[in-house]
Amino acid sequence: MKGRPIVSLNQVSMTYHNASGDITPLENVSLDIYRGDFIAICGVSGSGKSTLLNIMAGIVDPTCGTVLYNGRVDLSKLKDRKRTAFRRRNIGMVFQHMNLIGNMTARENIMFPLLLNNTKCTPEVDEKVMRIISMLGLEHVESNYPFEMSGGEQQRTAIARAILPGTIESGLHTLLLAEEPTGNLDQANSVAIGHILQNLNNELGQSIVLATHDTTLAAMAKTRIQLQNGTLSFL
């Protein structure tokens, strides 16, 4: 029993109007994402993976079609503030360029979204922070600044930051979206990130959609979907 999809893309198309002509990386794409899914969106550079993730996150509105959360929330219909608030509470995001804050330690970076959400620092919250730090193997660098961490440690910090608010507020974020999370990492670190995502999916039941052209990472997801010429096909 899969239940209701947590996110539904229905006939989503996206066209960019560039000086050199129109580009349509997504054409009538439909996809349902269910709780517990771990999906890798695969495709060559320029195939539209980032566009798809940005649309799922409500960062970019599709040219046509709808994206519904829990069968009812249409992010494109929400005003900016409500949209940001919804995203903060329901979606964790990890980007290829980690976007860690340079003058904050790993722990401060991880806890930063709690500040934005006005989450009180109770002993229970502290315990959850420690659990996530330990799940991601970051104990030894929690007081380090980003420049004092390896690329793999920085990316694990970004993942911890993305999932922490969900584990505190509602048990879990609805969805973790990761854009080329191993884009800047060597093979060993990429596999380590893959294992961490598998762990989050298996142990916490975190639903994950990632975009990647890294076939090793894609192989570690439960489901692979190819994005090519604007359409999706299951691999």
> Contact residues for Mg ion (CB under 5 A)?
49-50
Chain centroid, CA 163 distance in Å: 9
Stretch that binds ligand ADP, among 17-25, 98-106, 146-154, 189-197 (CB under 6 A): 17-25
Is the Cβ of residue 95 or residue 145 nearer to ligand ADP in the bound state? 95
Among 9, 12, 38, 43, binds ligand ADP (CB under 6 A): 43
Q: How far is the CB of 70 from ligand ADP (least distance, A)?
A: 25
Shortest Å distance, C-beta 180 to Mg ion: 6
Burial 175-194 (b: 16+ CB within 10 A, else e): bbbbbbbbbebeeebbbbbb
Residue 181 in the binding site for ligand ADP (CB under 6 A) = no
Report in angstroms how near the CB of residue 216 gets to ligand ADP at its nearest. Answer: 18
CB 6 within 8 A of CB 166: no
Out of 39, 42, 49, 87, the only residue in the binding site for ligand ADP (CB under 6 A) is 49
Q: Does 25 bind ligand ADP (CB under 6 A)?
A: yes
Stretch that binds ligand ADP, among 48-56, 95-103, 104-112, 152-160 (CB under 6 A): 48-56
Residues in the chain: 235
Given a contact cutoff of 8 angstroms between Cβ atoms, the answer to whether 133 and 107 are in contact is yes
Of the ranges 41-49, 137-145, 154-162, 165-173, which one interacts with ligand ADP (CB under 6 A)? Answer: 41-49
Tell me the site size for ligand ADP, rule CB under 6 A. Answer: 12
State the minimum distance, in angstroms, from the CB of residue 45 to ligand ADP: 4
Residue 81: which region, alpha, beta or left (left: phi > 0; alpha: psi -120 to 50)?
alpha
Instruction: Tell me how far apart the alpha carbons of residues 153 and 196 are, in angstroms, rounded to a whole number.
Output: 12
How many whole angstroms separate alpha carbon 126 and alpha carbon 77?
36
Query: Residue 23 binds what, of Mg ion, ligand ADP, none (CB under 5 to 8 Å, by partner type)?
Result: ligand ADP
Burial class for 35, CB neighbours closer than 10 Å (0-12, 13-18, 19+): middle
Closer residue to ligand ADP in complex, CB, 59/73: 59
- Which helix (DSSP H) or strand (DSSP E) does residue 90 occupy? helix 80-90
Give me the sheet containing 223-228, strands edge to edge: 91-94, 175-179, 208-212, 38-42, 223-228, 231-234
Q: At 58, is the secondary structure helix, strand, or coil? A: coil
Residue 83 contacts ligand ADP per CB under 6 A: no
48 binds ligand ADP (CB under 6 A): yes
Residues in the site for ligand ADP, rule: CB under 6 A?
16, 18, 23, 25, 43, 45-51
